[in-house]
Chains A and B, each alone.
Chain A
Amino acid sequence: MKPGTPGNIIRRVVTAAVAAVAAAVSLALAATASAATLTVYTAVEAEDLKRYAARFNEDHPDIEIKWVRDSTGIVTAKLLAEKDNPKADVIWGLAATSLLLMKSEGMLHPYKPKGIEKLDPKFIDKDDPPTWTGMDAWVAAICVNTVEQGKHGFPTPTSWKDLTKSEYKGHVAMPNPNSSGTGFLDVSSWLQMFGEEGGWQFMDALHENIHHYTHSGSKPCKQAARGEVPIGVSFAFRGAKSKAKGAPIDIIIPSEGIGWDMEATAIVEGTKNLEAAKTLVDWSITEKANMLYNEGYAVIAIQALAKPVEHFPEGIVEAMIDNDFEFAANNRRRILAEWQKRYDSKSEAK
């Protein structure tokens, strides 16, 4: 047949379709590669990930890490959604609160990594063998923009209760606990510090001063860094990073104490690469790994190794409350529902 005739065209269309299907299949197969590849889900900051993999590969060049990185909420939702058919081999660097949730769903493979005795006991799951081990702690903090502070002329807040004073009205941003792990960490720590009733009273008063709630935990501090709001309730690590980049902010550790959560590591139940996964988890609690965490975080699982981190405020370890993770995990739904009822319909239609 001559070019351009229908038969020819159909043949070409069929060829193209076959090629497309073949390409789709090959793309699909490419994702299931060799055994020495670990799919690792993480919420560790993107700028740190390459360093994490590189340090690990210095000791174990035969194991390749494929990162799936997202914010804490999305990674957690993703892992839970994949519950019946998990894709992850290891979780390295996700909130312990999230891991507790997964533990209760039976999604984690208990494993006692070598050298676990060196870790601070509060960085180890209470079960034996433990299902997860902590890496470092991320702690709540208040970021105050000093330029905007000068404009508005308010004093530097030194405690959580300070934030409820009238001079801060409309100047505070904090993460919505219904979409942010950091937000939940704040709320659960206030309930633990001030008691159930006192905690809600405090939040009622704080709510009056809130400019807006954000969906992410690092955003309030970054917004404070840009002066979008003068004060952001966030976490210290984020504040230190922004300050290092030249943002005009002070990082305040409130005097009542600060909520905190751990970044932690666990093996996913049903992984096809159990040996490699164990190797990675073993490495994740070594001194070398802890020194790696210490480059960004002031509080790490082997606290004896910790060196001060630039721009981190003093006295973090002392200020950390005796966080009851089981309380937080068990009451999570109830607390979030209560919070939503009280504050989430703040904006009325105009």
Chain B
Amino acid sequence: MAILTEEQTMLRDMAREWADNEAPVSAFRKMRDAAPAAGYDAATWTAQAEMGWTGILVPEAQGGAGMGYVSLGLVLEQLGRNLVATPLASTAAATSAILMGGSDAQKAEWLPKIAAGEVVATLAIDEGPRFDPAKIATKVEGGKLSGVKAFVPEGDSAQLFVVAASDGLYLVSGDAGVTRAPRHLTDSRSHAQVSFDNVPAEALGGGVELIAHVADRAAAAASAEMLGMAESAFAQTNDYLKTRVQFGQVLASFQALQHRMAKMFTELELCRSAVEGALEAIDSGRANVAQEVSLAKAVANETLHLVSREMIQLHGGIGMTDEHDAGFYLKRARVLEAQWGNAAWHRERFARLNGY
């Protein structure tokens, strides 16, 4: 456990309590069945904004809490536990871009609205189905941006896009020239192909390098959500093994299963360290953020991959049914695994950053 400030401890506990009381997995199921076009429940998003979570990264001067990435991660971890579906992570990713590359005027225009929960924002980098920030065809000419972005998270409802073009990041707002085509993935969340046709775009400072820095922050946040998912999937499985009786005894009494749970526990502990390490590195402005993020995302991918598979297998038949929640974790896990770089991508970058 990272050493949390009193403020962070309160934030974590509040988020956990809220998620358990107001947004359990049954709320996600209800949203999945209702299938709103935006891909999330509006009241849930409003509640998060009212608690100030949309302003966690936003400085106090612009109406936020200025708490940073460890704090954001604590909240996303709690939301991940219950698969809470809102645009919090995507809005935070866009916020990172404005914080790092925005002019004073851009910050003044957008950050207060984001902190107040008035704007859903997102980050649009990829143009294909696999994360590849080096391959961007989107172009800006004379202040007008054109390009097609694939599988943009919250692309169905976002009002503000941070769009990667060949020379850096741009802000695009408004609907003129923007075409959204929903892409229904296994996780029942919002993803859309978004086409920009000659739309007015404002450059953020920082050039091409900013793309990687922002993607790293998005990946770190995704890792925190994945950690929460893995923790909850693990805990539910552990509880099940302690109650399911076969051969006259609880499954938890079988050593072969005990060892599998012990192995997962071990991976989860390593994962928590890696995720917290990345978030702390960002907050303290360390030089090795990229390496720490690659570590966190690769480890979170592998851990959640393992736990989401084992959750189904160890639940047996009941885990394969739609009535049970195990499938939700599996279906969301693979989407987050693919987002902002899969394990192989981050292992490759980790090696490159370390000069081998």
B is bound to A: no
Q: Show the binding face of A for B, using Cβ within 8 Å.
A: none
